[in-house]
Amino acid sequence: MRPALAPILLAAAIAGAAEPAAAERLITSLSEHRVMVTSSFTGSELVLFGGIELDSGVLPLHGNYDIAVTVTGPRETVVTFRKERMLGIWVNYESRVFENAPSYLAVLSNRPLSAITNPETLRRLQLGLDHVSLPQRIEPVPADDLPGDVFRSAFLGLKSERGLYTQESNGVTFLTPALFRATIPLPADVLVGTYEVEAKLFSNGALIARTPSALELYKAGFEQFVTSSAQNHGLLYGLAAAAMAVLTGWFASVVFRRD
């Protein structure tokens, strides 16, 4: 057992060494970890604060720090339809299914991603809207996403239009050389669920540290009650809605009775 383990450990050590041993640590903190979606929810803005901490007694090995923050919302499977003109009418003709695509995606950085690191690294890290993985289900075999695909760009375009996908090259601001702030915009129609937040620290184009965290959006109070009863007790919910309609109508006929 033991001799067999050694090469694995060695391999792991080499793999670990491939990324430069960082003297820096990345510490982040969100302004809120739980965001409540209520009847007055019209979108929100969260702030992520972060600091680059050096190990005590060690001189900074790296300079030129860059930060990229990725916020990924709950995943959903989405159909993208393409309209085509048939007999003078525009109908949904072709469709593609995007499986487990992030419902929300924000990529924030202190300068354009292409300036932070090379395309190869961006691709490997799937960083940025151009590189995020959006697998499509093309019948009958699942296919990986193809760059430059019209459905992919339409998907990204529609998501960006609604503010659900954003990429901001000035979304991260350095307050001091080691302290930064990122503003995460949440539009009104974000889905509830867990949002993964990951801050990446680059130095001279190389990824030297990453720190994950998470935030949660939840519906509370009356909204939660309405949504869950509509989903889980559809029949009862429908009966209640119909009863509400009848009562409102009856009430109006009593209030406005003229004879």
Partner 1 sequence: MQIYLPIADLPVNVFVIFGMGLAVGFISGMFGIGGGFLMTPLLIFLGIQPAVAVATVSTHIAASSCSGAISYYRRRAIDVPLAGLLLAGGFAGTVFGVWLFTLLRTLGQLDITIGISYVLLLGVVGGLMVVESARAILRARQGKPVELRRPGSHTWVHGLPFKLRFKRSGIYVSAMPVLAIGCIIGFVGAIMGIGGGFLLVPMLIYILRVPTATVIGTSMVLTLVTMASATVLHAATNHLVDAVLALVLMVGGVIGAQFGARAGQRISGERLRLLLGLLVLAVGIRFGLEITLPPESLFTLRPLEGG
C-beta of 64 vs 253, nearer to partner 1? 253
3-class SS of residue 235: helix
C-beta of 99 vs 216, nearer to partner 1? 99
Residues in CB range of 223: below 8 A, 6 or more apart:
37, 38, 39
Asked if 49 contacts 33 with a C-beta cutoff of 8 angstroms, the reply is: no
Q: Is 90 exposed, middle or buried (0-12, 13-18, 19+ CB in 10 A)?
A: exposed
Q: Residue 237 phi/psi, 5° resolution?
A: -60, -45
For the bound state, the minimum distance from the C-beta of residue 240 to partner 1, rounded and expressed in Å, comes to: 7
C-beta of 10 vs 242, nearer to partner 1? 242
Applying CB under 8 A, which residues contact partner 1? 37-43, 75-85, 88-92, 95, 97, 99-100, 151, 154-155, 157-159, 188-189, 191, 219, 222-223, 226-227, 230-231, 234-235, 237-242, 244-246, 248-253, 256-257, 259
Looking from the CA of 129 toward its CB, the CA atoms found within 13 Å total 24
Cα dist. 215→74, 91, 128, 192 in Å? 11, 39, 20, 10
For the bound state, the minimum distance from the C-beta of residue 24 to partner 1, rounded and expressed in Å, comes to: 39
For the bound state, the minimum distance from the C-beta of residue 168 to partner 1, rounded and expressed in Å, comes to: 22
For the bound state, the minimum distance from the C-beta of residue 25 to partner 1, rounded and expressed in Å, comes to: 37
C-beta of 10 vs 91, nearer to partner 1? 91
